Structure 1
Amino acid sequence: MSDRGGQGLLARPPRARGRDALERQKLLQFRGHSVTWLVPLLTLVAIAFVDFNTSGEFRIVSWCVFVAAIAAALCGVWTTALFAVLAVATYIGADAAWPYQYREGPADFVLVLIGGILSVLAAAVRVRDERRMLHMRHIAETTRRTVLRPLPDGWGGLDHAAVYLAADADARMGGDFYDIQPGPHGTRVLLGDVQGKGLGAVEAAAALLGTFREAGYHEADLATVAERLEVRMRRHRGHTTALGGADNDRFATAVLLGFPEEERGVVDVVLFGHEAPLAAGPGGVRRLPHAGGLPLGLAELTSGEPPPVLRAAVAPEETLLLVTDGVTEARDRDGAFYPLADDVAAGLAREPRTAEPGRLVAYVRDRTLRHCGGALIDDTTIFAVRRRGAGSTRGDRGGGAEGDARGTGGDERPVRGRLQT
């Protein structure tokens, strides 16, 4: 998950470390230092102590073979080799201290020796696999940060916060995507969910984000941005299909927002088969106006036109909440869906500051995970944005402006001559 709003309530991306990768896999630490070596050491001391303080008929010194095996499961290769040597030395010393008739003999010595060698080999295999796993996680994290680029605080004149939770915790990346693109024609926001899983979904998300970042900056008309996204989805699908992929039916649901420069108290909305955003503020929760629209890549099934652009008034203190179906389709044990709007309204009634982007995202994340018992069945993205007030620091907008939002009505009207429903 990631903190995009700088609110301090959301977990931040993991930091890279210069030390050996295995340091991140230590199970036991004390004041920042690994103490996993204590487990095999205490085991070795306990075996020697018990063997020395029991009768000759009950000898356990051959249990030293377990010491290196425990080290192999917890420690590095060289530490395991050290404990293998200590186990052999302890066996020789402890066995020699007993009279000849009570000694375990060479057979158990060979057992401890071979067990130590095998433990060192097992530790080497484990360390190699752990390093490979950490390398793959690093690649996945780099890919995630490339597709879902970090957003500076106040980027595009918006306060924002986001959490991304992959249903596959090891993959760390799926088909959900979001971004903010400031430009000379205002700030645009995109959130979506590519149908399907795996690298194909990630590639489609990256393609759509690339188009959004360019069109969202250059195009004056939000409807043109929507058209560019529709065309990009079809082009990407055709390219991957020509390469022999199975993406001939892939599509993406999305919501596209525009915060125009000329009017501070409104937002333009385009929905591509996605849930309409919620506006959360002191007055409660309401759903922004929406018109029916097919997902990206499917417009050719009808007229080929993108969905209409609707304009809605937004109060300065209202935060727009955008989520993917990982939230709306989260189910509890009884199969009931998570009641997002009602739950957010209840949270606002208890604490009005829940409407702040960072608090709102953290609230929805925690409540969603509680509702489904932590068992997410789909990738989950929670994204909250609202305009910054007059006293906020501006992001690099490429032509943005500041000031308080004006207008608090709930009406909607046609934008740029399009017929709205």
Structure 2
Amino acid sequence: MRPVPARVSLSLVTDHRALWQRRDLLRVRGRSIAWVPPFLLLAGITLVDLNTAEHLRIIFWIVLVPGIAAAICGLWTTAAFAVLSVLDYVVVDNFWPRRYQAGLPDFVLVALAGLLATLACAFRLNGERRMLHMRDIAETTRRTVLRPLPSGWAGLEHAAVYLAADTEARVGGDFYDIQPGPHGTRVLVGDVQGKGLGAVETAAALLGTFREAGYHEKDLATVADRLETRMVRHRSHTVALGRDDGDRFATAVLLGFPPGAPDVVEIVNFGHEPPLAVGPTGVRSLPPGHGLPLGIGELASVAGPPPTLTVTLSPDETLLITTDGVTEARDGDGEFYALSDDLARSPTSDPRLLVAQVRDGVLRHTQGHLSDDTTIFAVHRATAPH
């Protein structure tokens, strides 16, 4: 995939699009000043034409005024500048003796330019409305797949950073969620193989199953088994529809925080990079678990989900899980990003500081160009109940 500039979002807070950036630049204290550039151009052309010699007429340059208004102003403002340009042309042209007047041909040119500028503005605004509508649809999809998580949700302090390789994408195949339930809090972080809407659809299917099984099932192994079954069923469905998804899989890490055991976390690893335990004293990698990715569990030598590992964490340690956008991030020379070395230089257990540190390190290493979507997720038990 070709590298493109990354978009950064903390807890999936998305960036402003060019439309909003442009409107922000043309606002002062909440008021639009988009009319100022075409007005200044209109006034400038008028003054220059009136203060130059008779044989040097530039009033026909006034055709630029409605064109600029069409690019940055609203429809009625553009129409007003089109009419104002015609009137200004008539007044200024009649100021000169007849032998120096630009005459009817330039008048027709100014009038036609105003009409075309007004039509162009209408087309531009219609395109912007369609774009905003698509943004709303994309935002709804994002919230469905990756729902917002409040601070301290389910007794866990967490933070997430999403780096999208596609600057126009709202969400990709990376996914994460926290699900509280009567059997403890469960966390799922993963990455669907492939790109496009098929990967998003698969992520949504896995998260839907996780939210139900994570709440109802007592054993974490049962939740893991439900995820594997859902992946196989979803893939069979897409293949039956004629899609080329027969080999799609997903790597993931499933965490369980059992109640009554504040220093224990259960881990089921589906072929994902093992989580890192990061604290003020350093960084350590947790056991990988040697599980296969979701969707190809049938190839395992032992039937059933990957083994459930039980790990003890100190109160000042935070679990850090990243997708392959971090582990496969390269610089211009092809060198991989050394995550553990970067964290070891200034380890922290604060989830927000931790994900921000990794985010900055990845962007610095790749100079802002990523080849894959990236999720950085950090979580630990809250010191006070929420």
Category of TM-score, reference length = shorter chain: over 0.9
1:393 aligns with 2:385: yes
1:369 aligns with 2:367: no
Please name the residue that 1:414 is paired with.
Answer: none
Residues 188 and 254 of structure 2 are in contact (CA less than 8 Å); yes or no, is this contact kept in structure 1?
A: yes
For structure 2, the residue ranges without an aligned partner over 5 or more in a row are 1-7
* Post-superposition CA distance 1:271-319 (Å, at most 9, x none): 1111111111011111111221211001112334322111111110111
Aligned partner of 1:388: which letter? A
How far, CA to CA, are the matches of 2:266 and 2:87 in structure 1?
76
Please name the residue that 1:312 is paired with.
Answer: 311
Instruction: Report 1:323-402 matches (<5 A).
Output: 323-348=322-347, 354-389=348-383, 392-394=384-386
The 1:341–1:319 alpha-carbon spacing in structure 2 relative to 1, beyond 3 Å, is same
Aligned partner of 1:273: which letter? G
Structure 1 residue 13: Cα displacement: 5.4
How far, CA to CA, are the matches of 2:31 and 2:308 in structure 1?
57
Please name the residue that 1:294 is paired with.
Answer: 292
Partner SS for 1:271: strand
How far, CA to CA, are the matches of 2:56 and 2:264 in structure 1?
84
1:228 aligns with 2:226: yes
Structure 1 residue 23: Cα displacement: 6.9
How far, CA to CA, are the matches of 1:83 and 1:375 in structure 2?
42
Please name the residue that 1:39 is paired with.
Answer: 37
Please name the residue that 2:4 is paired with.
Answer: none
Identity of aligned residues (%): 64
| TM-score, structure 1 as length reference | 0.86
* Post-superposition CA distance 1:64-93 (Å, at most 9, x none): 100000011111111111111111111111
Residues 185 and 256 of structure 2 are in contact (CA less than 8 Å); yes or no, is this contact kept in structure 1?
A: yes
Residues 165 and 172 of structure 1 are in contact (CA less than 8 Å); yes or no, is this contact kept in structure 2?
A: no
How far, CA to CA, are the matches of 1:161 and 1:360 in structure 2?
8
How many residues align? The count is: 376
Residues 175 and 203 of structure 2 are in contact (CA less than 8 Å); yes or no, is this contact kept in structure 1?
A: yes
**Aligned counterpart in structure 2 of residue 56 of structure 1, from 48, 54, 60:** 54
Partner SS for 2:37: helix
Residues 264 and 312 of structure 2 are in contact (CA less than 8 Å); yes or no, is this contact kept in structure 1?
A: yes
Partner SS for 1:160: strand
Aligned partner of 1:309: which letter? T
Residues 269 and 290 of structure 1 are in contact (CA less than 8 Å); yes or no, is this contact kept in structure 2?
A: no
Residues 137 and 171 of structure 1 are in contact (CA less than 8 Å); yes or no, is this contact kept in structure 2?
A: no
The 1:216–1:330 alpha-carbon spacing in structure 2 relative to 1, beyond 3 Å, is same
Please name the residue that 1:419 is paired with.
Answer: none
Q: Which moved more, 1:374-383 or 1:226-235?
A: 374-383
Aligned partner of 1:363: which letter? Q
1:86 aligns with 2:84: yes
Aligned partner of 1:89: which letter? L
Aligned partner of 1:310: which letter? L
Instruction: Report 1:188-203 matches (<5 A).
Output: 188-203=186-201
* Post-superposition CA distance 1:308-336 (Å, at most 9, x none): 11111111011101111111111111111
Residues 55 and 100 of structure 2 are in contact (CA less than 8 Å); yes or no, is this contact kept in structure 1?
A: yes
How far, CA to CA, are the matches of 2:318 and 2:350 in structure 1?
7
Please name the residue that 1:217 is paired with.
Answer: 215
How far, CA to CA, are the matches of 2:183 and 2:194 in structure 1?
33
Please name the residue that 1:99 is paired with.
Answer: 97
Structure 1 residue 263: Cα displacement: 2.1
How far, CA to CA, are the matches of 1:329 and 1:347 in structure 2?
22
1:73 aligns with 2:71: yes
For structure 1, the residue ranges without an aligned partner over 5 or more in a row are 5-10, 16-21, 349-353, 395-421
* Post-superposition CA distance 1:48-73 (Å, at most 9, x none): 01111111121110001000000111
How far, CA to CA, are the matches of 2:220 and 2:32 in structure 1?
55
The 1:24–1:128 alpha-carbon spacing in structure 2 relative to 1, beyond 3 Å, is farther
Structure 1 residue 266: Cα displacement: 1.5
Structure 1 residue 153: Cα displacement: 1.6
Query: Could you say what the CA RMSD is over the residues aligned between the two structures, in angstroms?
Result: 1.7
How far, CA to CA, are the matches of 1:142 and 1:134 in structure 2?
12
Please name the residue that 1:129 is paired with.
Answer: 127
**Aligned counterpart in structure 1 of residue 148 of structure 2, from 142, 150, 173:** 150
* Post-superposition CA distance 1:146-182 (Å, at most 9, x none): 1111112211110011122221121211111000111
How far, CA to CA, are the matches of 1:30 and 1:346 in structure 2?
43
How far, CA to CA, are the matches of 1:212 and 1:193 in structure 2?
14
How far, CA to CA, are the matches of 2:68 and 2:283 in structure 1?
56
Partner SS for 1:267: strand
Residues 9 and 15 of structure 2 are in contact (CA less than 8 Å); yes or no, is this contact kept in structure 1?
A: no
